[in-house]
Amino acid sequence: MGRLPCCDNIGVKKGPWTPEEDLILVSYIQEHGPSNWRCVPTNTGLSRCSKSCRLRWTNYLRPGIKRGNFTRHEEKLIIHLQALLGNRWAAIASYLPERTDNDIKNYWNTHLKKKLLGKINQETYAGGAAADGFPVNEKGQWERRLQTDINMAKKALHEALYMEKPTFIYESNPSSCSSSHSSGGGQPPPPTYASSTENISRLLENWMRKPAKPLEDASFGPANSAESTQLSVACGSLSSEGSVFQVESKLSLDPDLQYSLIETWLLDDNYGGGQDSNLMLHHLPLDASD
């Protein structure tokens, strides 16, 4: 049996929302909260289907939504995440809590995709190529780095997805821990971190199997999950523009974390990392008491 429509479409208004409708919807949600959307049209008298009400709220009326131009950092973060996650706009939006998935999707389709394609075409026709495999572009250094980042992330993702064995291999190297860990109680196990491209791809594999965590959870990947491997992985690249630092700073790491963030910078030609970019992994066991 086919799926029934969310509404019978009879007497249901479509098209742009009016300020009056917005007001009615906001007032109702303020009182009752954003739940049970099916009742919203009936209870408010709005001639809209429940789905339309929900979309209007989540994409436009919900508090905390930032509108207007995307910052350069947001732009770079989206490009990073799109390369890693693909068109999973909701997952990407979870890392930019002030932006809606619809906004990000629109911005990608109307600005970034075009921009990147244009960049690639321009460089293809220019014909030049630097030692790191990307064409030389004197004008746009940051764009070049961006392209390096994308290439690197795609490579990591590809390996992460097609690795045969999901087994993790870790190497322990506490000396590399930029530790600020100082919680009392039992001695936590020594931190481990990935120190090879093979490990990175396996870390990423596990990450890709889990839904992305929102920023409020202060971590990427499978962390915060009791049955998880208690790892948190962030992948990106470092450049003088600080794109990964931006990712990191946006994470607002939980002060209760048992360990401080461990960073390993890898300079590995296999990942196409030039002097400007590196693959960075964060591995943070969240709860050493278990």
Partner DNA sequence: AAGCTGGCCAACCGCCAACCC
Partner DNA sequence: AGGGTTGGCGGTTGGCCAGCT
Q: Which of 78, 98, 80 is nearest to 89 (CA)?
A: 78
Is 65 near DNA (CB under 7 A)?
no
Instruction: Look up residue 160 and give its two tokens.
Output: 């992460």
Binding region for DNA (CB under 7 A) out of 29-37, 119-127, 135-143, 226-234: 29-37
- Out of 25, 28, 29, 56, point to the residue binding DNA (CB under 7 A): 56
By CB under 7 A, the residues from 104 to 133 that bind DNA are: 105-107, 109-111, 114
What x/- string results for residues 77 through 96 when contact with DNA is judged by CB under 7 A? ----------xxxxx-----
CB-wise, 59 or 178, nearer to DNA? 59
Span interacting with DNA, options 57-65, 117-125, 218-226, 272-280, rule CB under 7 A: 57-65
55 binds DNA (CB under 7 A): yes
Mark the segment that binds DNA (CB under 7 A) among 12-20, 118-126, 147-155, 257-265. 12-20
Q: Which of 74, 75, 103, 205 binds DNA (CB under 7 A)?
A: 103
The least distance separating DNA from the CB of residue 81, rounded to whole angstroms, comes to 11
Q: Provide the mask over 34-53, with x wherever binding to DNA is found by CB under 7 A and - wherever it is not.
A: -xxxx---------x-xxx-
- Give Cβ neighbours of residue 10 (< 8 Å, ≥ 6 apart): none
For binding to DNA (CB under 7 A), which residues are involved?
Answer: 1, 3-4, 6, 13-17, 35-38, 48, 50-52, 54-56, 58-60, 67, 87-91, 101-103, 105-107, 109-111, 114
